[in-house]
Structure 1
């Protein structure tokens, strides 16, 4: 039986080393590469492949949510598990909408990543226990986590703008035309009483969606 080939993408070597050791305790699982940046991942994907990719959303040179969409546009069969500090329902919803098959936070017990990869092997979508609780709470409240004022699409646009993307980049990332993206931004400004993308990023920081430099 062929080994399950796993790639770990995280900019902290000690994190990768710890998870590599954990994952390789599973019979037939092999971590075939450790990658620390978006650029290195792009180069690796040009000349190799894997069965499961464990992806951090916060890399020093790339936005994980954008990378997720790009990777799956190129290789739709690739199983991606998000492993991140972000536990907000908005991040989870966006990652799943982009095609992630698992979502685990770094505050979870390490075994949850093992559980996620096992679930993917059974054809399931896996959410870590803390993520399930957070998403369930947001759904029960009838909102979109920290952005209850917005529709699901507006919240998606808000998050990408807050992470520093231009309107044109937002449109390309989520597959809408620029005119529609500008319309969403206008609606966001009106609903949240914002006057600029700078104010939008400040609001996102206050609501815990992004960390400003």
Structure 2
């Protein structure tokens, strides 16, 4: 007896949400991503506040987000999103390609990291990989990390964690924001800052930023 073939079951659409504070950037990426069969951009969000409100009622398969938002730190936001929705796949799309930015994003729970200078197909590949539960780094990110294994190379006096705290302070983060960004307690963050001050003979965050600029670690 001949067994009839079962109709193939269509794959559910891949739901994507874009987080960037520039509407024209979101529109361009929406157009790119919705060219992929079965992909749908379900929401566009422009701030950390909008993401927090969206988390209360909505869901998606992949969240594509910038780290630089007008009202919040993207690294803190990654941790907040994953605390609310642990299974969320997050791809960072940022202008920053420094090793510690990438390391911090991946440590916070992001599955992918591409820069805004990357070729469009890299974002597509990153989303596809994240949707499968895999990690993806863009070509320029890999190249930068190969050339500059760690921005901490410019801070040989410090441990890798101290260098991480140093760079966040140099970028203007408060101690409490540093703690939230890298997932440590305020007490531990203050202890790291004290160690940094002692090792580098500093007395203030202003002196720290001047030193970071002198060593070419921040602009």
Q: Is residue 2:170 matched to residue 1:175?
A: no
Could you say which residue in structure 1 is the equivalent of 2:24? 14
Instruction: State the alpha-carbon separation in 2 of the partners of residues 46 and 125 from structure 1.
Output: 27
Per the TM alignment, residue 203 of structure 1 is displaced from its structure 2 partner at its CA by 4.0
Inter-CA distance 129–182: structure 2 relative to 1 (3 Å threshold) = same
Q: Is 1:70 aligned to 2:80, yes or no? A: yes
Q: Deviation digits for residues 38-67 of structure 1, max 9, x if unmatched?
A: 111111111111110011011111111111
* Inter-partner Cα distance in structure 1 for 2:45 and 2:215: 31
Aligned-pair distance for 1:186?
Answer: 1.4
Whole-Å separation in 2 of the counterparts to 1:205 and 1:44:
38
Q: Distance in 1 between matches of 2:156 and 2:106?
A: 19
- Corresponding residue number in structure 2 for 1:48: 58
Matches within 5 A, 1:1-213: 1-139=11-149, 144=152, 146-205=154-213
CA contact 1:6–1:50 (8 Å) conserved in 2: yes
What is the TM-score of this pair, normalised by structure 2? 0.86
1:144 counterpart SS class: helix
Q: Which has the larger radius of gyration?
A: 2
Q: What is the TM-score when the length of structure 1 is the normalising length?
A: 0.88
**Structure 1 gap segments, 5+ residues each:** none
Give the CA deviation at 1:146.
4.9
- Structure 1 residues 28 and 149, CA gap change in structure 2 (3 angstroms): farther
Contact conserved, 1:89 with 1:145, CA < 8 A, in 2? no
Whole-angstrom CA distance in 2 between matches of 1:183 and 1:110: 42
1:72 CA drift (Å):
1.3
